[in-house]
């Protein structure tokens, strides 16, 4: 078995037998339950080590920031689903989470990737130049700069300074926060107007500061939003809105005979 | 608008404008981010009030307990999905969460319902009798007693005493924990053998102790497991197992010509 | 292997090797592709035998009837998802299909179950009495009679007579259609007013006539609606409505400060 | 309304009132139910016109080809989900469909895009050169040529000649089939060995021949596979395999203590 496992796949994640549960080398019952919070366990499961106190504060701030943002598309989808499949609340939560994709959450990881790319290019190109080149490319391709601009929050996303403040208080506003703030100045100069650093942009930098793998970043948004959707589902039971949203959607997009049938 | 909202649906959950985000009557930026943990925010969003310290400890213990239990069906599904749709990690997480249904997580809410039912019936029927009647019915219908028994953990689920200990330390092992322990004695007597109180049974009692609405209980399992699945997805990228699981499944269920074609 | 397969699980469904694909005892390439339609293959895969011409006509009529019904909740969900996850159209289709549950499609199988229950009880209770008892129970419990009544189509669902006509033309309006029509008279008498036989009610009877297993009935609605959702997704790309539906939903359920924060 | 609809979004897809259902300018009851098959309706809903007989034959052949291919990842996921959420079959179907992504079905649309790209480049670059350039680029980037090669079917995918034969018999093996066959020769020459045209490659060409929009191609695979999954779900109820697949997956990826805990 050991040999076969040595070659083939294996898991470090978890295992249970008659009397114990192992999770990444720890005893779940005696070393984790009652000893760590959900947030610490999430970090442990994804990073393979327990976070320090400051990292926990920053991660909690990020998770709390993304949890709830009103009637987002994922909340609307979850409420419509709760009305259609009332017996299985996990279906409503999961369907809302499917919408946490490139459009509404991918920017966190994309902003983090941009900062890493700039950091890697700086020695050769020079920091300012590395930023200007990339921002210029995005602008000329009419692509958004990941982590910048917001449809609702103008001129500035109020969540961003708060997130950066929490990181500073935790002593974790390091080189990625510095890079993000320098990038912000370049973005404003290249665009000739102010584009706010949005909350997902700030989170991209903070996740790098606390050592979250890029691949986990969108998943963290998903976990955070899962919590927020529970609130929407409970409220939907008490104050139903799904049927009215559905009826209204027929007025938003009324039926029209197609030309070929005119 | 106010009038229309007075009759029609509304939301207390969240709202954002150019310069602020409101969440259930609080200012997200100034009152929540940096002030509360993910776990406190989850409680706040679902219960409408901030939890006390002891309630947070108990809730964290429950969330940590359910987060990870090795290669569960939801973990296997999430890993297979990650291999099929590598670009969209939220699809893998969401598909794993769809499996958190009546079979693998519903027992928490069902155990809580049973305890409430017994509590309501006790004054009229007498506590012992109320328990014996219901356990007897379940047994005669060959139905499981929600919250009792476990396929792997024998003779006892090691997570249960730890969860109850955390509740005692937090001063929150009240009447529902007492009911669960009395019920356990009745279950063993009626079945003529020992059935362990499993972790979801203990959580059903603890969720009642800390004031979680029944409707939120399965959703809490979903949120907790969402965190656990992130760990599986990161590991799947580093140590792929999906392809081997898929190939193996063809050996588990080999093709056989149907009789009509023989 | 044969022995192990004899005990353990196996599949009759499908298998492929280097040069051929077997499906339920047939050669996919030489016996199915080009020889049968999607509808015949669906019947074959679920019933284990090829349908007769009349059964195909009835099944096609049922599938065509359910495919498209305007902006249903599943169509709205699929359109919102297509806007959030534009890269993966299967996510939009699948999320719309998750909503084909007890509320919007379960009635087909529930109506079929009711007809079978009445058929089984008739010898002992008498047919009229068996119908009156069950309809009376549903009414006294304020439950809908599965397959009867419609929110939009009044006084009668225009799809029902057409579906029954197709069955008659195919010589397949047998005892289940007769039972449904007798049941309709009982329903009107018990309720003291006319409740239309709706399309899912008619389909419940027709699926029984053509030998569809009860367990497959909701799945057939899912397959049919999957086709309908493709049309919505293509239209959503050409004439986007998701963003407006989302914005409008915020007006349908405006934010209100919760009382505790007043 | 007309004005508002003129600017704002609208739908040509469907609409129902008390006595009728309109679908893309036709009366569902009198013009579609009983008059067209599922396959014709699918084409009508996605292309906006009714298909000709030959187009229906080709489309049915493509849909039948993709419906069933044994225990694919989507079938395994659907079976595991059916075991976890037995009450809601649409959840099992939908979760299986989520896996119809870039890895296992995207090749149809990618092969179609490649053919269109070559067709567009041919006048300027010359046909042979246009093919060699693109195949050479893919090879040098170690990317697969969409529509070519197959893990199981060697040396040739048996479904491909059958699909092309059906198209020839229908008089629909036109310029895209010709392009695909010329491309096949170039692929073999550039790679210095024979790579089969696989079924999704053949379907990419056939979908172009019958006028299916590129954006609909993956969705057609989803619809087709939805039918196939129904067969798996019914079989899973009769001959359960999910529990054994789950148990076996723990042996495929056994737990190992992570190094840091050694």
Rg from Cα positions in chain B: 22
Look at residues B107, B67, B24 and name the one whose alpha carbon lies nearest to residue A234. Answer: B24
Residues A75, D205: Cα–Cα separation, whole Å: 40
Q: Which of D8, D16, D29 sits opposite C162 (nearest CB)?
A: D29
Domain boundary among D213, D230, D250: D213
Distance to chain A for C118, nearest Cα, Å: 27
Q: Is 90 exceeded by the pLDDT of residue A1?
A: no
Q: Which of B17, B250, B255, B261 to probe by mutation at the C interface, max C CB count within 10 Å?
A: B255
Q: How much is the pTM?
A: 0.94
pLDDT for position C6:
52
What string of DSSP letters covers D94-144? HHHHHT-STTTTTHHHHHHHHHHHHHHHHHHH-HHHHHHHHHHHHHHTT--
Q: Quick check: is D227 in a domain?
A: no
Q: How many CA atoms lie within 13 A of B242 on its CB side?
A: 28
Residues C4, B258: Cα–Cα separation, whole Å: 17
Tokens encoding A203: 């989170």
Q: In what order do the strands lie in the sheet with A14-16?
A: A14-16, A21-23, A26-27
Say how many residues make up chain C: 262
pLDDT for position D3:
42
> Does residue B47 sit in the same domain as residue B140?
no
* Average per-residue pLDDT for chain D: 93
> Does residue C38 sit in the same domain as residue C125?
no
Q: Quick check: is A133 in a domain?
A: yes
Cβ <8 Å between A84 and C99: yes
> Does residue C126 sit in the same domain as residue C207?
yes
Chain segment B177-217, per-residue pLDDT in tens: 999 999 999 999 999 999 999 999 999 999 999 999 999 99
Q: Which residues from chain B sit within 8 angstroms of residue D89, using beta carbons?
A: none
Tokens encoding C176: 């289940």
Q: Is 90 exceeded by the pLDDT of residue D33?
A: yes
Q: Which of A72, A74, A95 sits opposite C98 (nearest CB)?
A: A95
pLDDT for position A6:
52
Give D260's pLDDT tier (boundaries 50, 70, 90). Answer: low
Strands D26-27 and B14-16, bridge-based pairing: unpaired
Q: Are the beta carbons of A193 and A139 closer than 8 angstroms? A: no
pLDDT for position C262:
40
Distance to chain B for D255, nearest Cα, Å: 8
Q: Is 50 exceeded by the pLDDT of residue A79?
A: yes
Contacts 24+ apart (CB under 8 A), B25-30: B25/C257, B25/C258, B25/C260, B25/C261, B25/C262, B26/C261, B28/A64, B28/A65, B28/A68, B28/A159, B29/A158, B29/A159, B29/A162, B30/A162
> Does residue D43 sit in the same domain as residue D121?
no
Q: Is 80 exceeded by the pLDDT of residue B173?
A: yes
Give A105's pLDDT tier (boundaries 50, 70, 90). Answer: confident
Degrees (nearest 5) of the Cα angle A59, A63, A66?
A: 140
> Does residue A113 sit in the same domain as residue A30?
no
Q: Are the beta carbons of A250 and D7 closer than 8 angstroms? A: no
pLDDT for position B151:
87
> Does residue B44 sit in the same domain as residue B112?
no
Question: Can you name the residues that pair with B197 across neighbouring β-strands?
Answer: B148
Q: Quick check: is C229 in a domain?
A: no
Cβ <8 Å between D84 and B101: yes
Cβ <8 Å between B99 and D85: yes
Residue with tokens 């940096």: B34
Degrees (nearest 5) of the Cα angle B76, B251, C45?
A: 85
Torsion over CA: D194, D195, D198, D201 (sign): negative
Subunits close to B (at least 3 CB pairs below 8 A): A, C, D
Rg from Cα positions in chain D: 22
Q: Quick check: is C30 in a domain?
A: yes
- % chain D with pLDDT above 70: 96
Q: Which residues from chain C sit within 8 angstroms of residue B5, using beta carbons?
A: 254, 256
* Average per-residue pLDDT for chain B: 93
Give D102's pLDDT tier (boundaries 50, 70, 90). Answer: confident
Strands B14-16 and B21-23, bridge-based pairing: antiparallel
Tokens encoding B156: 């006892």
Provide, for chain A, the percentages of residues in helix, strand and coil under a 3-state DSSP scheme, each rounded to the nearest 5.
65, 5, 30
Residues C15, A2: Cα–Cα separation, whole Å: 32
Residues D14, D21: Cα–Cα separation, whole Å: 7
Q: Which residues from chain A sit within 8 angstroms of residue C83, using beta carbons?
A: 73, 103
Cβ <8 Å between C10 and B254: yes
Q: Which of A69, A72, A74, A77 to probe by mutation at the C interface, max C CB count within 10 Å?
A: A77
Chain segment A117-138, per-residue pLDDT in tens: 999 999 999 999 999 999 999 9
Look at residues C151, C144, C163, C148 and name the one whose alpha carbon lies nearest to residue C70. Answer: C151
Q: Is 70 exceeded by the pLDDT of residue A203?
A: yes
Q: Quick check: is D28 in a domain?
A: yes
pLDDT for position D164:
98
Q: Nearest 5°: phi and psi at A35?
A: -105, -25
pLDDT for position B103:
83
Q: Are the beta carbons of B85 and B248 closer than 8 angstroms? A: no
Q: Among B86-90, D95-99, D172-176, D183-187, where is mean pLDDT lowest?
A: B86-90
Cβ <8 Å between D239 and C11: yes
Interaxial angle between packed helices A89-98 and B89-98, expressed in degrees from 0 to 180 and rounded to the nearest 10: 170
Cβ <8 Å between B25 and C255: no
Tokens encoding C11: 């599949």
Q: Which of D227, D242, D246 to probe by mutation at the C interface, max C CB count within 10 Å?
A: D227
Distance to chain B for C43, nearest Cα, Å: 16
Cβ <8 Å between A61 and B93: no
Closest Cα in chain C to D18: C153
Taking residues D177-200, what's their average pLDDT?
Answer: 97
Q: Is 90 exceeded by the pLDDT of residue B1?
A: no
Residue A34 belongs to domain spanning: 18-51
Subunits close to D (at least 3 CB pairs below 8 A): A, B, C
Cβ <8 Å between C249 and A76: yes
Distance to chain C for A241, nearest Cα, Å: 6
Distance to chain A for D158, nearest Cα, Å: 32
- % chain A with pLDDT above 70: 96
Interaxial angle between packed helices B199-209 and B107-125, expressed in degrees from 0 to 180 and rounded to the nearest 10: 60
CATH number of B174's domain: 1.10.230.10
More confident residue, D107 or C195: C195
DSSP structural state of residue A259: G
Q: Is 80 exceeded by the pLDDT of residue A201?
A: yes
> Does residue D117 sit in the same domain as residue D206?
yes
Q: Quick check: is D120 in a domain?
A: yes
Give A5's pLDDT tier (boundaries 50, 70, 90). Answer: very low
Q: Is C101 helix (H, G, I), strand (E, B) or coil?
A: coil
Distance to chain B for A28, nearest Cα, Å: 7
Taking residues D146-164, what's their average pLDDT?
Answer: 95
Cβ <8 Å between A83 and C103: yes
Distance to chain D for B113, nearest Cα, Å: 20
Closest Cα in chain D to A251: D10
pLDDT for position A4:
43
Distance to chain A for C10, nearest Cα, Å: 25
> Does residue C114 sit in the same domain as residue C201?
yes
Q: Is 50 exceeded by the pLDDT of residue A2?
A: no
In total, how many domains does chain A have?
2
Domain boundary among A51, A72, A96: A51
Cβ <8 Å between B241 and D249: yes
Containing A14, the helix (H) or strand (E) segment is: strand A14-16
> Does residue A43 sit in the same domain as residue A129?
no
Q: In what order do the strands lie in the sheet with B14-16?
A: B14-16, B21-23, B26-27
Q: Quick check: is B68 in a domain?
A: no
Q: Which residues from chain C sit within 8 angstroms of residue B261, using beta carbons?
A: 24-26
Q: Quick check: is D167 in a domain?
A: yes
Per-residue pLDDT in tens (0 to 9) along chain C, 262 residues: 344 445 679 999 888 889 999 999 999 999 999 999 999 999 999 999 999 999 999 999 999 999 998 999 999 999 999 999 998 999 999 999 999 988 877 789 999 999 999 999 999 999 999 999 999 999 999 999 999 999 889 999 999 999 999 999 999 999 999 999 999 999 999 999 999 999 999 999 999 999 999 999 999 999 999 999 999 999 999 999 999 999 999 999 999 999 864 4
Cβ <8 Å between A71 and C249: yes
pLDDT for position C103:
82
| Cis peptide bond prior to C155, omega within 30° of 0 | yes
Q: Which of C76, C100, C241 sits opposite A246 (nearest CB)?
A: C76
Q: Which residues from chain A sit within 8 angstroms of residue D10, using beta carbons?
A: 253-256
Q: Which of D63, D70, D102 sits opposite C13 (nearest CB)?
A: D70
Residues B261, C23: Cα–Cα separation, whole Å: 11
Closest Cα in chain B to C259: B25
Cβ <8 Å between C226 and D97: yes
Q: Which of D21, D46, D241 sits opposite C234 (nearest CB)?
A: D46
Q: Which residues from chain A sit within 8 angstroms of residue B215, using beta carbons?
A: 89, 233-234, 237
Q: In what order do the strands lie in the sheet with C26-27?
A: C14-16, C21-23, C26-27
pLDDT for position D6:
52
Q: Which of D88, D246, D255 sits opposite B73 (nearest CB)?
A: D246
Q: Is 60 exceeded by the pLDDT of residue B4?
A: no
Tokens encoding A79: 């409420």
- % chain B with pLDDT above 90: 89
Cβ <8 Å between B1 and C258: no
pLDDT for position C7:
63
Domain boundary among C191, C213, C235: C213
């Amino acid at each position: 078995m050991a040999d076969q496992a040595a070659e083939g796949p294996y898991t470090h994640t978890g295992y249970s037998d008659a009397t114990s549960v192992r999770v990444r080398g720890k005893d779940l019952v005696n070393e984790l339950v009652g000893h760590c919070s959900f947030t610490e366990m999430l970090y442990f499961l994804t990073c393979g080590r327990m976070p320090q106190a400051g990292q926990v504060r920053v991660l909690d701030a990020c998770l709390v920031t993304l949890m709830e943002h009103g009637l987002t598309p994922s909340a609307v989808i979850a409420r419509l689903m709760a009305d259609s499949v009332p017996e299985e609340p996990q279906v409503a939560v999961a369907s809302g989470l499917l919408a946490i994709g490139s459009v509404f959450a991918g920017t966190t990881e994309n902003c983090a990737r941009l900062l890493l790319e700039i950091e890697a290019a700086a020695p050769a190109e020079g920091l300012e130049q590395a930023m200007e080149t990339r921002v210029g490319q995005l602008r000329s391709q009419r692509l958004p700069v990941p982590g910048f601009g917001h449809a609702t929050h103008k001129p500035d996303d109020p969540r961003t300074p708060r997130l950066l403040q929490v990181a500073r208080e935790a002593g974790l506003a390091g080189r990625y926060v510095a890079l993000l703030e320098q990038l912000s100045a370049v973005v404003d100069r290249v665009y000739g107007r102010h584009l706010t650093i949005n909350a997902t942009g700030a989170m991209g930098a903070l996740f790098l500061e606390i050592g979250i793998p890029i691949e986990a970043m969108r998943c963290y948004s998903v976990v955070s939003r899962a919590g927020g959707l529970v609130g929407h589902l409970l409220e939907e039971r008490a104050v139903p809105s799904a049927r009215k949203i559905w009826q209204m959607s027929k007025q938003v997009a009324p039926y029209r005979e197609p030309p070929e049938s005119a």
